[in-house]
Chain A
Protein backbone atom coordinates (compact mmCIF):
# COMPACT_ATOMS: atom_id res chain seq x y z
CA UNK A 1 0.00 0.00 0.00
CA UNK A 2 2.68 2.47 0.90
CA UNK A 3 4.42 1.70 -2.31
CA UNK A 4 1.37 2.70 -4.23
CA UNK A 5 1.14 5.83 -2.20
CA UNK A 6 4.70 6.76 -2.95
CA UNK A 7 4.12 6.09 -6.60
CA UNK A 8 1.13 8.37 -6.64
CA UNK A 9 3.02 11.08 -4.84
CA UNK A 10 5.84 10.78 -7.28
CA UNK A 11 3.47 11.08 -10.17
CA UNK A 12 1.89 14.15 -8.70
CA UNK A 13 5.21 15.82 -8.20
CA UNK A 14 6.25 15.06 -11.72
CA UNK A 15 3.12 16.65 -13.05
CA UNK A 16 3.63 19.83 -11.12
CA UNK A 17 7.22 20.12 -12.12
CA UNK A 18 6.27 19.57 -15.66
CA UNK A 19 3.73 22.34 -15.62
CA UNK A 20 6.22 24.69 -14.10
CA UNK A 21 8.72 23.94 -16.77
CA UNK A 22 6.10 24.25 -19.43
CA UNK A 23 4.89 27.63 -18.35
CA UNK A 24 8.37 28.86 -18.00
CA UNK A 25 9.27 27.78 -21.48
CA UNK A 26 6.14 29.22 -22.92
CA UNK A 27 7.05 32.60 -21.66
CA UNK A 28 10.08 32.61 -23.81
CA UNK A 29 9.03 30.63 -26.76
CA UNK A 30 6.05 32.73 -27.59
CA UNK A 31 6.36 36.26 -28.83
CA UNK A 32 6.17 39.00 -26.28
CA UNK A 33 8.76 40.72 -24.22
CA UNK A 34 8.26 40.91 -20.47
CA UNK A 35 10.19 44.09 -20.14
CA UNK A 36 8.16 45.67 -22.83
CA UNK A 37 5.00 44.58 -21.15
CA UNK A 38 6.08 46.13 -17.94
CA UNK A 39 6.78 49.53 -19.28
CA UNK A 40 5.27 49.75 -22.74
CA UNK A 41 6.65 53.13 -23.46
CA UNK A 42 10.22 52.22 -22.77
CA UNK A 43 12.55 51.73 -25.65
CA UNK A 44 16.15 51.65 -26.55
CA UNK A 45 18.57 52.10 -23.68
CA UNK A 46 15.91 52.31 -21.03
CA UNK A 47 14.49 49.05 -22.24
CA UNK A 48 17.93 47.50 -22.13
CA UNK A 49 18.51 48.58 -18.60
CA UNK A 50 15.15 47.27 -17.67
CA UNK A 51 15.96 43.95 -19.14
CA UNK A 52 19.19 43.86 -17.22
CA UNK A 53 17.37 44.56 -14.04
CA UNK A 54 14.99 41.77 -14.70
CA UNK A 55 17.85 39.44 -15.53
CA UNK A 56 16.31 38.82 -18.87
CA UNK A 57 19.58 38.60 -20.67
CA UNK A 58 20.97 35.78 -18.64
CA UNK A 59 21.14 32.36 -20.19
CA UNK A 60 17.90 30.45 -20.03
CA UNK A 61 19.09 27.84 -17.61
CA UNK A 62 20.19 30.44 -15.14
CA UNK A 63 16.89 32.21 -15.35
CA UNK A 64 15.09 29.00 -14.89
CA UNK A 65 17.17 28.06 -11.91
CA UNK A 66 16.40 31.36 -10.30
CA UNK A 67 12.76 31.00 -11.08
CA UNK A 68 12.55 27.51 -9.77
CA UNK A 69 14.51 28.34 -6.69
CA UNK A 70 12.20 31.18 -6.04
CA UNK A 71 9.22 28.92 -6.41
CA UNK A 72 10.55 26.49 -3.91
CA UNK A 73 10.89 29.25 -1.44
CA UNK A 74 7.33 30.28 -2.11
CA UNK A 75 8.19 33.30 -4.10
CA UNK A 76 6.01 33.76 -7.13
CA UNK A 77 7.49 37.00 -8.23
CA UNK A 78 6.46 40.57 -8.08
CA UNK A 79 3.45 42.07 -9.66
CA UNK A 80 4.33 44.32 -12.54
CA UNK A 81 1.51 46.67 -11.85
CA UNK A 82 1.02 46.72 -8.14
CA UNK A 83 3.94 47.07 -5.86
CA UNK A 84 3.33 43.83 -4.08
CA UNK A 85 4.40 40.27 -4.26
CA UNK A 86 2.23 37.96 -6.22
CA UNK A 87 1.90 35.68 -3.27
CA UNK A 88 0.38 38.32 -1.09
CA UNK A 89 -2.07 39.31 -3.76
CA UNK A 90 -3.20 35.79 -4.23
CA UNK A 91 -3.31 34.98 -0.56
CA UNK A 92 -5.55 37.93 -0.03
CA UNK A 93 -8.11 36.70 -2.46
CA UNK A 94 -7.88 32.98 -2.15
CA UNK A 95 -10.40 32.60 0.68
CA UNK A 96 -13.06 34.29 -1.40
CA UNK A 97 -12.55 31.90 -4.25
CA UNK A 98 -12.44 28.92 -1.96
CA UNK A 99 -15.69 29.94 -0.40
CA UNK A 100 -17.37 30.38 -3.73
CA UNK A 101 -16.09 27.09 -5.04
CA UNK A 102 -17.18 25.31 -1.92
CA UNK A 103 -20.65 26.80 -1.92
CA UNK A 104 -21.06 25.99 -5.58
CA UNK A 105 -19.95 22.41 -5.13
CA UNK A 106 -22.31 21.87 -2.24
CA UNK A 107 -25.25 23.28 -4.15
CA UNK A 108 -24.57 21.42 -7.33
CA UNK A 109 -23.96 18.16 -5.56
CA UNK A 110 -27.24 18.36 -3.75
CA UNK A 111 -29.29 19.42 -6.71
CA UNK A 112 -27.50 17.17 -9.14
CA UNK A 113 -27.77 14.13 -6.90
CA UNK A 114 -31.42 14.73 -6.22
CA UNK A 115 -32.10 15.00 -9.91
CA UNK A 116 -29.99 11.99 -10.68
CA UNK A 117 -31.69 9.74 -8.15
CA UNK A 118 -35.12 10.92 -9.20
CA UNK A 119 -34.29 10.28 -12.82
CA UNK A 120 -33.07 6.81 -12.00
CA UNK A 121 -36.30 5.91 -10.29
CA UNK A 122 -38.72 7.22 -12.82
CA UNK A 123 -36.84 6.96 -16.07
CA UNK A 124 -39.82 7.64 -18.26
CA UNK A 125 -41.13 10.95 -17.08
CA UNK A 126 -38.63 12.47 -14.74
CA UNK A 127 -35.74 10.92 -16.56
CA UNK A 128 -36.56 12.53 -19.88
CA UNK A 129 -37.22 15.87 -18.23
CA UNK A 130 -33.92 15.75 -16.43
CA UNK A 131 -32.12 14.85 -19.61
CA UNK A 132 -33.57 17.84 -21.38
CA UNK A 133 -32.75 20.17 -18.53
CA UNK A 134 -29.26 18.79 -18.45
CA UNK A 135 -28.82 19.34 -22.13
CA UNK A 136 -29.88 22.93 -21.94
CA UNK A 137 -27.86 23.69 -18.87
CA UNK A 138 -24.77 22.13 -20.29
CA UNK A 139 -25.05 24.02 -23.52
CA UNK A 140 -25.35 27.38 -21.89
CA UNK A 141 -22.10 29.03 -21.00
CA UNK A 142 -21.73 30.01 -17.40
CA UNK A 143 -21.25 33.67 -17.99
CA UNK A 144 -24.50 33.75 -19.85
CA UNK A 145 -26.31 32.19 -16.95
CA UNK A 146 -24.65 34.67 -14.66
CA UNK A 147 -25.67 37.65 -16.69
CA UNK A 148 -29.18 36.35 -17.04
CA UNK A 149 -29.43 35.94 -13.33
CA UNK A 150 -28.18 39.45 -12.80
CA UNK A 151 -30.79 40.74 -15.15
CA UNK A 152 -33.54 38.82 -13.50
CA UNK A 153 -32.66 39.15 -9.89
CA UNK A 154 -30.67 42.30 -9.83
CA UNK A 155 -33.67 44.25 -10.73
CA UNK A 156 -36.23 42.44 -8.76
CA UNK A 157 -34.94 41.29 -5.44
CA UNK A 158 -32.65 42.79 -2.94
CA UNK A 159 -29.82 40.52 -3.92
CA UNK A 160 -27.78 43.24 -5.46
CA UNK A 161 -24.96 41.35 -7.04
CA UNK A 162 -22.70 43.90 -8.52
CA UNK A 163 -22.20 45.73 -5.32
CA UNK A 164 -19.19 43.51 -5.44
CA UNK A 165 -17.56 42.65 -2.23
CA UNK A 166 -17.56 39.71 -0.03
CA UNK A 167 -20.68 38.89 1.81
CA UNK A 168 -23.18 36.13 2.26
CA UNK A 169 -25.84 37.77 0.16
CA UNK A 170 -23.41 38.48 -2.57
CA UNK A 171 -22.42 34.85 -2.52
CA UNK A 172 -25.83 33.60 -3.52
CA UNK A 173 -25.99 34.48 -7.18
CA UNK A 174 -22.46 33.62 -8.20
CA UNK A 175 -22.68 30.33 -6.33
CA UNK A 176 -25.92 29.44 -8.04
CA UNK A 177 -24.49 30.42 -11.41
CA UNK A 178 -21.52 28.15 -11.01
CA UNK A 179 -23.64 25.40 -9.54
CA UNK A 180 -26.07 25.42 -12.41
CA UNK A 181 -23.22 24.89 -14.76
CA UNK A 182 -22.15 21.80 -12.91
CA UNK A 183 -25.54 20.25 -12.26
CA UNK A 184 -25.89 18.36 -15.53
CA UNK A 185 -22.68 16.56 -14.94
CA UNK A 186 -23.66 15.40 -11.50
CA UNK A 187 -27.17 14.56 -12.45
CA UNK A 188 -26.00 12.29 -15.19
CA UNK A 189 -23.35 10.50 -13.23
CA UNK A 190 -25.51 10.08 -10.16
CA UNK A 191 -28.27 8.76 -12.32
CA UNK A 192 -26.07 6.17 -13.91
CA UNK A 193 -24.52 5.13 -10.66
CA UNK A 194 -27.92 4.80 -9.10
CA UNK A 195 -29.25 2.71 -11.94
CA UNK A 196 -26.23 0.49 -11.75
CA UNK A 197 -26.69 0.20 -8.06
CA UNK A 198 -30.34 -0.64 -8.39
CA UNK A 199 -29.72 -3.46 -10.79
CA UNK A 200 -26.85 -4.93 -8.85
CA UNK A 201 -27.27 -8.31 -7.18
CA UNK A 202 -27.17 -6.99 -3.67
CA UNK A 203 -30.10 -4.73 -4.22
CA UNK A 204 -31.97 -7.71 -5.51
CA UNK A 205 -31.07 -9.50 -2.32
CA UNK A 206 -32.37 -6.57 -0.35
CA UNK A 207 -35.64 -6.69 -2.24
CA UNK A 208 -35.79 -10.42 -1.61
CA UNK A 209 -35.30 -9.71 2.05
CA UNK A 210 -38.34 -7.54 1.98
CA UNK A 211 -36.57 -4.31 2.74
CA UNK A 212 -38.78 -1.34 1.88
CA UNK A 213 -37.65 0.81 -1.03
CA UNK A 214 -36.93 3.84 1.09
CA UNK A 215 -34.54 1.93 3.20
CA UNK A 216 -32.94 0.33 0.22
CA UNK A 217 -32.13 3.72 -1.13
CA UNK A 218 -30.88 5.02 2.13
CA UNK A 219 -28.82 2.14 3.31
CA UNK A 220 -27.73 0.35 0.23
CA UNK A 221 -27.80 2.59 -2.77
CA UNK A 222 -26.66 5.84 -1.28
CA UNK A 223 -23.77 4.31 0.54
CA UNK A 224 -22.53 2.77 -2.62
CA UNK A 225 -22.80 5.84 -4.77
CA UNK A 226 -21.33 8.07 -2.15
CA UNK A 227 -17.66 7.47 -2.96
CA UNK A 228 -17.94 8.34 -6.65
CA UNK A 229 -19.89 11.45 -5.80
CA UNK A 230 -17.32 12.47 -3.28
CA UNK A 231 -14.60 11.96 -5.84
CA UNK A 232 -16.37 14.09 -8.35
CA UNK A 233 -17.04 16.80 -5.85
CA UNK A 234 -13.45 16.92 -4.73
CA UNK A 235 -12.06 17.13 -8.21
CA UNK A 236 -14.67 19.62 -9.19
CA UNK A 237 -13.78 21.80 -6.28
CA UNK A 238 -10.17 21.87 -7.35
CA UNK A 239 -11.09 22.71 -10.89
CA UNK A 240 -13.47 25.39 -9.78
CA UNK A 241 -10.79 27.23 -7.92
CA UNK A 242 -9.58 28.40 -11.28
CA UNK A 243 -12.74 27.85 -13.21
CA UNK A 244 -14.87 30.42 -11.46
CA UNK A 245 -12.79 33.23 -12.83
CA UNK A 246 -15.33 34.43 -15.31
CA UNK A 247 -18.18 34.28 -12.87
CA UNK A 248 -16.15 36.13 -10.30
CA UNK A 249 -15.47 38.79 -12.81
CA UNK A 250 -19.09 39.22 -13.75
CA UNK A 251 -20.29 39.46 -10.22
CA UNK A 252 -17.40 41.41 -8.88
CA UNK A 253 -16.58 38.64 -6.47
CA UNK A 254 -13.08 39.33 -5.15
CA UNK A 255 -11.41 36.04 -5.81
CA UNK A 256 -8.24 34.95 -7.52
CA UNK A 257 -10.04 34.39 -10.80
CA UNK A 258 -11.10 37.96 -10.99
CA UNK A 259 -7.58 38.88 -10.07
CA UNK A 260 -6.29 36.84 -12.96
CA UNK A 261 -8.61 38.47 -15.44
CA UNK A 262 -7.90 41.99 -14.39
CA UNK A 263 -4.21 41.29 -14.26
CA UNK A 264 -4.35 39.83 -17.69
CA UNK A 265 -6.00 42.95 -18.95
CA UNK A 266 -3.33 45.09 -17.44
CA UNK A 267 -0.64 42.80 -18.72
CA UNK A 268 0.48 41.93 -15.26
CA UNK A 269 1.89 38.60 -16.18
CA UNK A 270 3.51 37.32 -13.03
CA UNK A 271 0.18 37.51 -11.29
CA UNK A 272 -1.54 35.55 -13.97
CA UNK A 273 1.22 33.00 -13.93
CA UNK A 274 0.91 32.79 -10.19
CA UNK A 275 -2.76 32.01 -10.44
CA UNK A 276 -2.04 29.40 -13.05
CA UNK A 277 0.41 27.66 -10.82
CA UNK A 278 -1.80 27.79 -7.79
CA UNK A 279 -4.65 26.41 -9.82
CA UNK A 280 -2.53 23.58 -11.09
CA UNK A 281 -1.22 22.70 -7.69
CA UNK A 282 -4.74 22.70 -6.35
CA UNK A 283 -5.92 20.31 -9.01
CA UNK A 284 -2.99 17.98 -8.59
CA UNK A 285 -3.27 17.97 -4.84
CA UNK A 286 -6.94 17.26 -4.88
CA UNK A 287 -6.52 14.51 -7.38
CA UNK A 288 -4.06 12.94 -5.02
CA UNK A 289 -6.20 13.42 -1.95
CA UNK A 290 -9.22 12.03 -3.66
CA UNK A 291 -7.33 8.99 -4.84
CA UNK A 292 -6.10 8.29 -1.36
CA UNK A 293 -9.49 8.89 0.14
CA UNK A 294 -11.04 6.49 -2.27
CA UNK A 295 -8.60 3.82 -1.38
CA UNK A 296 -9.45 4.36 2.21
CA UNK A 297 -13.19 4.49 1.94
CA UNK A 298 -13.58 1.22 0.16
CA UNK A 299 -13.31 -1.40 2.87
CA UNK A 300 -11.86 -3.72 0.33
CA UNK A 301 -8.65 -1.77 0.11
CA UNK A 302 -8.65 -0.30 3.54
CA UNK A 303 -6.57 -3.03 4.99
CA UNK A 304 -3.38 -1.72 3.53
CA UNK A 305 -3.46 1.09 6.01
Chain B
Protein backbone atom coordinates (compact mmCIF):
# COMPACT_ATOMS: atom_id res chain seq x y z
CA UNK B 1 0.00 0.00 0.00
CA UNK B 2 2.81 2.31 0.85
CA UNK B 3 4.55 1.81 -2.43
CA UNK B 4 1.36 2.27 -4.35
CA UNK B 5 0.79 5.61 -2.78
CA UNK B 6 4.33 6.71 -3.23
CA UNK B 7 4.13 5.93 -6.89
CA UNK B 8 0.87 7.76 -7.10
CA UNK B 9 2.25 10.84 -5.50
CA UNK B 10 5.22 10.78 -7.79
CA UNK B 11 3.15 10.17 -10.86
CA UNK B 12 0.91 13.11 -10.30
CA UNK B 13 3.18 15.52 -12.05
CA UNK B 14 2.90 13.38 -15.10
CA UNK B 15 -0.66 14.50 -15.46
CA UNK B 16 0.50 18.00 -15.37
CA UNK B 17 2.39 17.78 -18.54
CA UNK B 18 -0.37 18.92 -20.78
CA UNK B 19 -0.19 22.54 -19.85
CA UNK B 20 -3.81 23.10 -20.35
CA UNK B 21 -4.49 25.98 -18.14
CA UNK B 22 -6.51 27.62 -20.76
CA UNK B 23 -9.47 29.69 -19.94
CA UNK B 24 -11.71 28.01 -22.33
CA UNK B 25 -15.14 28.63 -21.17
CA UNK B 26 -16.41 25.44 -19.72
CA UNK B 27 -19.40 26.99 -18.12
CA UNK B 28 -22.96 25.86 -18.25
CA UNK B 29 -25.73 28.01 -19.46
CA UNK B 30 -26.15 29.55 -16.05
CA UNK B 31 -22.52 30.46 -15.88
CA UNK B 32 -21.74 27.86 -13.32
CA UNK B 33 -18.85 25.52 -13.29
CA UNK B 34 -19.34 22.22 -14.92
CA UNK B 35 -19.80 19.17 -12.78
CA UNK B 36 -17.96 15.93 -12.73
CA UNK B 37 -18.38 13.43 -15.50
CA UNK B 38 -18.80 15.92 -18.25
CA UNK B 39 -17.62 14.53 -21.54
CA UNK B 40 -15.26 17.32 -22.19
CA UNK B 41 -14.05 18.05 -18.68
CA UNK B 42 -13.81 14.85 -16.74
CA UNK B 43 -13.40 16.42 -13.40
CA UNK B 44 -15.37 19.50 -14.03
CA UNK B 45 -14.28 23.09 -14.10
CA UNK B 46 -13.89 25.91 -11.66
CA UNK B 47 -15.57 29.27 -11.44
CA UNK B 48 -13.40 30.68 -14.15
CA UNK B 49 -14.09 27.89 -16.50
CA UNK B 50 -10.73 26.26 -16.17
CA UNK B 51 -10.58 22.54 -16.33
CA UNK B 52 -10.02 20.95 -12.98
CA UNK B 53 -7.88 18.06 -13.98
CA UNK B 54 -4.75 19.89 -15.06
CA UNK B 55 -5.15 22.38 -12.28
CA UNK B 56 -5.33 19.60 -9.77
CA UNK B 57 -2.27 18.03 -11.25
CA UNK B 58 -0.33 21.25 -11.15
CA UNK B 59 -1.55 21.91 -7.70
CA UNK B 60 -0.29 18.58 -6.60
CA UNK B 61 2.99 19.29 -8.20
CA UNK B 62 3.17 22.56 -6.29
CA UNK B 63 2.41 20.83 -3.05
CA UNK B 64 5.05 18.23 -3.69
CA UNK B 65 7.63 20.79 -4.65
CA UNK B 66 7.00 22.81 -1.58
CA UNK B 67 7.06 19.70 0.52
CA UNK B 68 10.43 18.61 -0.73
CA UNK B 69 12.13 21.94 -0.64
CA UNK B 70 10.72 23.09 2.66
CA UNK B 71 11.52 19.71 4.06
CA UNK B 72 15.08 19.87 2.96
CA UNK B 73 15.68 23.36 4.23
CA UNK B 74 13.97 22.95 7.56
CA UNK B 75 15.62 19.64 8.24
CA UNK B 76 18.94 21.03 7.17
CA UNK B 77 18.68 23.94 9.54
CA UNK B 78 17.44 21.83 12.38
CA UNK B 79 20.15 19.24 11.91
CA UNK B 80 22.85 21.87 11.93
CA UNK B 81 21.42 23.55 14.97
CA UNK B 82 21.08 20.25 16.77
CA UNK B 83 24.63 19.25 15.98
CA UNK B 84 26.13 22.53 17.00
CA UNK B 85 24.11 22.77 20.15
CA UNK B 86 24.74 19.21 21.12
CA UNK B 87 28.38 19.45 20.45
CA UNK B 88 29.51 22.74 21.73
CA UNK B 89 27.54 22.63 24.99
CA UNK B 90 27.54 25.43 27.49
CA UNK B 91 26.66 28.82 26.16
CA UNK B 92 26.09 27.85 22.59
CA UNK B 93 23.76 25.14 23.70
CA UNK B 94 21.79 27.34 26.03
CA UNK B 95 21.35 30.09 23.52
CA UNK B 96 20.39 27.80 20.70
CA UNK B 97 17.91 25.95 22.82
CA UNK B 98 16.24 29.15 23.94
CA UNK B 99 16.14 30.18 20.35
CA UNK B 100 14.48 26.94 19.47
CA UNK B 101 11.96 27.37 22.22
CA UNK B 102 11.19 30.85 21.01
CA UNK B 103 10.49 29.66 17.56
CA UNK B 104 8.38 26.88 18.89
CA UNK B 105 6.37 29.33 20.91
CA UNK B 106 5.44 31.46 17.97
CA UNK B 107 1.94 30.81 16.77
CA UNK B 108 2.11 29.77 13.20
CA UNK B 109 -0.89 31.36 11.63
CA UNK B 110 -0.80 34.94 12.77
CA UNK B 111 2.95 35.03 12.41
CA UNK B 112 2.73 33.69 8.90
CA UNK B 113 0.28 36.39 8.06
CA UNK B 114 2.63 38.87 9.50
CA UNK B 115 5.58 37.60 7.57
CA UNK B 116 3.65 37.13 4.40
CA UNK B 117 3.14 40.80 4.11
CA UNK B 118 6.84 41.30 3.70
CA UNK B 119 7.64 38.67 1.20
CA UNK B 120 6.68 38.45 -2.42
CA UNK B 121 4.20 35.74 -3.07
CA UNK B 122 4.91 32.41 -4.56
CA UNK B 123 6.71 29.27 -3.73
CA UNK B 124 9.66 31.07 -2.20
CA UNK B 125 7.46 32.71 0.32
CA UNK B 126 5.87 29.48 1.35
CA UNK B 127 9.17 27.72 1.63
CA UNK B 128 10.70 30.46 3.72
CA UNK B 129 7.82 30.63 6.12
CA UNK B 130 7.60 26.89 6.34
CA UNK B 131 11.28 26.67 7.13
CA UNK B 132 10.92 29.24 9.84
CA UNK B 133 8.27 27.21 11.55
CA UNK B 134 9.37 23.74 10.84
CA UNK B 135 12.92 23.75 11.94
CA UNK B 136 12.42 24.11 15.65
CA UNK B 137 10.62 20.91 16.48
CA UNK B 138 12.92 18.51 14.70
CA UNK B 139 15.85 20.48 16.05
CA UNK B 140 14.76 19.53 19.53
CA UNK B 141 14.32 15.92 18.58
CA UNK B 142 17.66 15.74 16.83
CA UNK B 143 19.32 17.51 19.68
CA UNK B 144 18.16 14.84 22.05
CA UNK B 145 19.54 12.26 19.70
CA UNK B 146 22.86 14.05 19.42
CA UNK B 147 23.15 14.02 23.18
CA UNK B 148 22.39 10.37 23.21
CA UNK B 149 24.97 9.73 20.56
CA UNK B 150 27.52 11.66 22.47
CA UNK B 151 27.06 9.44 25.43
CA UNK B 152 27.83 6.47 23.30
CA UNK B 153 31.39 7.53 23.10
CA UNK B 154 31.90 8.60 19.54
CA UNK B 155 33.20 11.92 20.65
CA UNK B 156 35.80 10.53 22.94
CA UNK B 157 37.16 8.06 20.49
CA UNK B 158 37.50 10.53 17.69
CA UNK B 159 38.98 13.12 19.98
CA UNK B 160 41.47 10.53 21.06
CA UNK B 161 42.33 10.09 17.42
CA UNK B 162 43.11 13.77 17.32
CA UNK B 163 40.29 15.05 15.19
CA UNK B 164 39.17 18.66 15.39
CA UNK B 165 35.85 20.06 16.50
CA UNK B 166 33.87 20.53 13.35
CA UNK B 167 35.30 17.44 11.79
CA UNK B 168 34.05 15.30 14.59
CA UNK B 169 30.71 16.91 14.34
CA UNK B 170 30.15 16.31 10.72
CA UNK B 171 32.09 13.24 9.95
CA UNK B 172 31.20 11.20 12.94
CA UNK B 173 27.98 12.23 14.56
CA UNK B 174 26.10 13.21 11.46
CA UNK B 175 26.07 9.78 9.86
CA UNK B 176 24.49 8.38 12.96
CA UNK B 177 21.95 11.10 13.08
CA UNK B 178 21.01 10.45 9.51
CA UNK B 179 18.56 7.57 10.02
CA UNK B 180 16.56 9.63 12.44
CA UNK B 181 16.48 12.56 10.07
CA UNK B 182 15.37 10.31 7.29
CA UNK B 183 12.61 8.83 9.38
CA UNK B 184 11.38 12.22 10.38
CA UNK B 185 11.47 13.56 6.86
CA UNK B 186 8.19 12.12 5.58
CA UNK B 187 6.32 13.41 8.57
CA UNK B 188 7.81 16.82 8.04
CA UNK B 189 6.88 16.68 4.41
CA UNK B 190 3.31 15.78 5.24
CA UNK B 191 3.07 18.72 7.58
CA UNK B 192 4.55 20.92 4.93
CA UNK B 193 1.87 19.94 2.49
CA UNK B 194 -0.85 20.76 4.97
CA UNK B 195 0.84 23.96 5.90
CA UNK B 196 1.18 25.08 2.32
CA UNK B 197 -2.46 24.45 1.63
CA UNK B 198 -3.46 26.36 4.71
CA UNK B 199 -1.28 29.30 3.84
CA UNK B 200 -2.50 29.40 0.31
CA UNK B 201 -6.00 29.25 1.57
CA UNK B 202 -5.64 32.37 3.64
CA UNK B 203 -3.72 34.12 0.97
CA UNK B 204 -0.32 34.02 2.54
CA UNK B 205 1.13 31.45 0.21
CA UNK B 206 1.03 30.76 -3.44
CA UNK B 207 -0.49 33.42 -5.61
CA UNK B 208 -2.50 32.94 -8.77
CA UNK B 209 -2.21 31.95 -11.48
CA UNK B 210 0.03 29.27 -10.08
CA UNK B 211 -2.16 26.41 -9.06
CA UNK B 212 -2.18 25.34 -5.49
CA UNK B 213 -4.66 22.97 -3.97
CA UNK B 214 -5.33 25.20 -1.00
CA UNK B 215 -5.68 28.24 -3.17
CA UNK B 216 -8.12 26.46 -5.39
CA UNK B 217 -10.42 25.84 -2.52
CA UNK B 218 -10.24 29.42 -1.47
CA UNK B 219 -10.84 30.87 -4.87
CA UNK B 220 -13.92 28.85 -5.43
CA UNK B 221 -15.38 29.26 -2.01
CA UNK B 222 -18.51 30.99 -3.07
CA UNK B 223 -19.61 28.44 -5.54
CA UNK B 224 -19.27 25.55 -3.19
CA UNK B 225 -22.88 25.03 -2.47
CA UNK B 226 -23.67 24.38 -6.09
CA UNK B 227 -20.52 22.69 -7.13
CA UNK B 228 -19.24 20.61 -4.29
CA UNK B 229 -16.67 18.98 -6.51
CA UNK B 230 -14.69 22.17 -6.24
CA UNK B 231 -14.10 21.38 -2.64
CA UNK B 232 -14.00 17.65 -2.75
CA UNK B 233 -11.42 17.23 -5.47
CA UNK B 234 -8.63 19.36 -4.09
CA UNK B 235 -9.36 18.03 -0.65
CA UNK B 236 -9.03 14.47 -1.78
CA UNK B 237 -5.73 15.26 -3.39
CA UNK B 238 -4.35 17.02 -0.37
CA UNK B 239 -5.50 14.10 1.63
CA UNK B 240 -3.85 11.57 -0.61
CA UNK B 241 -0.56 13.35 -0.84
CA UNK B 242 -0.35 13.84 2.88
CA UNK B 243 -1.32 10.29 3.57
CA UNK B 244 1.22 9.09 1.08
CA UNK B 245 3.96 10.79 2.98
CA UNK B 246 2.73 9.55 6.30
CA UNK B 247 2.53 6.02 5.08
CA UNK B 248 6.01 6.20 3.71
CA UNK B 249 7.03 7.35 7.14
CA UNK B 250 5.28 4.40 8.70
CA UNK B 251 7.04 2.12 6.33
CA UNK B 252 10.38 3.55 7.29
CA UNK B 253 9.55 3.16 10.91
CA UNK B 254 8.68 -0.45 10.39
CA UNK B 255 12.15 -1.04 9.02
CA UNK B 256 13.90 0.64 11.92
CA UNK B 257 11.84 -0.17 14.95
CA UNK B 258 13.95 1.78 17.35
CA UNK B 259 13.18 4.95 15.49
CA UNK B 260 9.52 4.55 16.16
CA UNK B 261 9.77 7.33 18.66
CA UNK B 262 8.96 9.64 15.85
CA UNK B 263 5.21 9.78 15.44
CA UNK B 264 2.52 12.17 14.35
CA UNK B 265 3.21 14.59 17.06
CA UNK B 266 3.30 17.84 15.19
CA UNK B 267 0.56 20.41 15.14
| Chain A residues with a Cβ under 8 A of chain B | 11, 14-16, 18-19, 22-23, 26-27, 30-32, 37, 134-136, 138-144, 147-148, 150-151, 154-155, 184-185, 188-189, 239, 241-243, 245-246, 249, 257, 260-261, 264-265, 267, 269, 272-273, 275-276, 279-280, 282-284, 287
Once the chains are docked, how many angstroms separate the CA of A275 from the CA of B235? 29
Q: Which residues of chain B have C-beta atoms less than 8 A from A245's C-beta?
A: 109-110, 113, 202
Q: What chain B residues lie within 8 Å of A134 (beta carbons)? A: 264
CB of A273 within 8 A of CB of B101, answer no
Contacting residues, chain A, for B246 (C-beta < 8 A): 135, 138-139
Knowing A19-B102, A19-B105, A242-B107, say if A143 contacts B198 (CB, 8 Å): yes
Which residues of A lie under 8 Å from residue B111 when comparing CB positions?
Answer: 23, 276, 279
Additional A-B contacts beyond A148-B231, A245-B109 (8; CB < 8 A) = A18-B102, A27-B118, A139-B238, A143-B201, A147-B221, A188-B263, A243-B267, A265-B203
B181 to chain A, nearest CB (A): 21
- Tell me whether B34 is interfacial, beta carbon within 8 Å: no
A144 to B242, CA, bound (A): 14
Residue in contact with A147 in the complex, picked from B190, B217, B239, B240, CB distance below 8 Å: B217
Does B31 belong to the interface (CB within 8 Å)? no
Q: What is the number of residues of chain B that contact chain A, defined by CB distance less than 8 Å? A: 45
Can you show 10 pairs from A to B with CB atoms below 8 A apart? A16-B105, A139-B243, A141-B198, A143-B214, A147-B231, A239-B107, A246-B198, A246-B202, A264-B117, A264-B204
Residue on A nearest B120 in the bound complex, by CB:
A31
- With both beta carbons as reference points, the residue of chain A lying nearest to B250 in the complex is identified as A135
The DSSP consensus for interface residues of chain B is: helix
| Cβ of A99 to closest chain B Cβ, rounded Å | 18
Q: Is A15 a contact of B198 with CB atoms below 8 Å?
A: no
Q: Which residue of B lies closest to A243 (CB)?
A: B109
Report B-chain residues with C-beta under 8 Å of the C-beta of A185.
264-265
Contact in complex: A264, B105 (CB < 8 Å): no
B131 interface residue (CB < 8 Å to A)? no
Min C-beta distance of B229 to chain A, whole Å? 11
B105 and A272 contacting across the interface, CB-CB below 8 Å: no
